[in-house]
Amino acid sequence: MNPHEKKKFLFYTCFAVACFAFVVLLELLVSAPSASVGDFPQTDPARMRATPPVLFFLVVYFGVFFAGLWNLGVCAHRKLRGLSLFDFRARVRRLPVSAVGASQIFFFVAAFLVILQIVTLVLVLWLEMVSMTLAVILNFALQVGVVAVLLRSLSGEFLNVKEGARHTKMVLRLFTASLPLLLFAVILNAFLVRLLPIEPSMNPAVQMVLALPEGPLLLLFIIQGVILAPLAEELFFRVFAFKLLRRRWAFWPAAALLSSVFAVIHRASVNILPLFVLSMVLCYLYEKTQSAFPPILFHAVFNGFNFIMVLLVKAQITAG
């Protein structure tokens, strides 16, 4: 790295660190976006009406869950026999980004986060319904911006989407196998939240779904959560940041550090452990396939599953 590149690297890195620190400071000083579970209307599961959509979802959920128990048992059996979970060996691909290029990506993503944080706080503190409309549109634009920055920096050969699309069946099988693990993480997380002096806070995405009225805005937010959010998050966390960590670290420490950050930034104490487990599974999936497609598909299916569940609960609350 020549002196000019060192100056650029230091500038982008320092600016990105300052932006991330600014976002964290705002989160600590201003208690704006994050809401506790008790701030929203509650629905007693025992009193939920057995409507056809609810019954259909329960049948699908338990079917997928029991299929997941079987697939989890198969995975455990293969591991105990010393076999790989996958019947192929993907070629390891190097991140086609220099140190300066990586610092530039962090620079742009940090700038997006600062803009989102400042505008969201202004809207929440000074506006009400209009704030939700603008927040959804702004978040949509920023996710598109993050995806554009990453796609511009990462080559199509490195993303390896075509090869990864061949493993769709394996991705869905791994998704079902992860459901029992995620359920266990949810139960353990709930126990720890009750045991420790932690206020149970809800995921901001769930807050938005419960707060937004039915209509085009809610539909836009759901599309955003099922398509754009998995695309932006997987490109940044797994394809870029995880690959960057793997330059110097082994899989487990790199995946654990990244998953901890991934869980914390979602600002939901009731989901920290499940999000950590989800991120570890996504890191493992990317490590084995070396393709952006499998973790994006997995994440999209996971978000879609959860959005359907939240919408059913919202319908029960609205119906009284």
Total domains in the chain come to 1
Asked if the structure places residue 289 within a domain, the reply is yes
pLDDT of residue 246: 92
Contacts of 4 (CB under 8 A, 6+ apart): none
Give the chain's residues under pLDDT 50. Answer: 31-37, 39, 129
pLDDT digits (tens, 9 = 90+) for 26-39: 766 654 444 444 54
In a domain, 76, yes or no: no
Whether residue 128 lies inside any domain: the answer is no
Burial label for 44, CB within 10 Å (0-12, 13-18, 19+), is exposed
Does the residue 38 lie in any domain?
Answer: no
Residue 33's pLDDT is what? Answer: 45
Instruction: Report the distance separating Cα 112 and Cα 109, nearest Å.
Output: 5
What is the per-residue pLDDT across 300-312, written as a single tens digit (0 to 9) for each?
Answer: 999 999 999 888 8
What percent of the chain is predicted at pLDDT more than 70? 87
237 within domain boundaries: yes
pLDDT attached to residue 180: 93
pLDDT of the residue at 278: 95
**How high is the pLDDT of residue 42?**
52
- Report if residue 287 sits inside a domain: yes
Scored b (16 or more CB within 10 A) or e, 308-319 reads: bebbbbbbbeee
Structural domain boundaries enclosing 187: 162-318
C-alpha dihedral (66, 310, 47, 267), degrees to nearest 10: 100
Q: pTM of this prediction?
A: 0.88
Residue 99 domain-assigned (yes or no): no
pLDDT at 303: 94
End-to-end CA distance of the chain: 64
Give the chain's mean pLDDT.
83
Question: For position 233, what pLDDT does the model report?
Answer: 93
- Within a domain: 43: no
**Digit-coded pLDDT (tens) for 118-138:** 766 666 666 554 567 777 887
Q: 3-state DSSP helix/strand/coil percent for the chain, to nearest 5?
A: 80, 0, 20
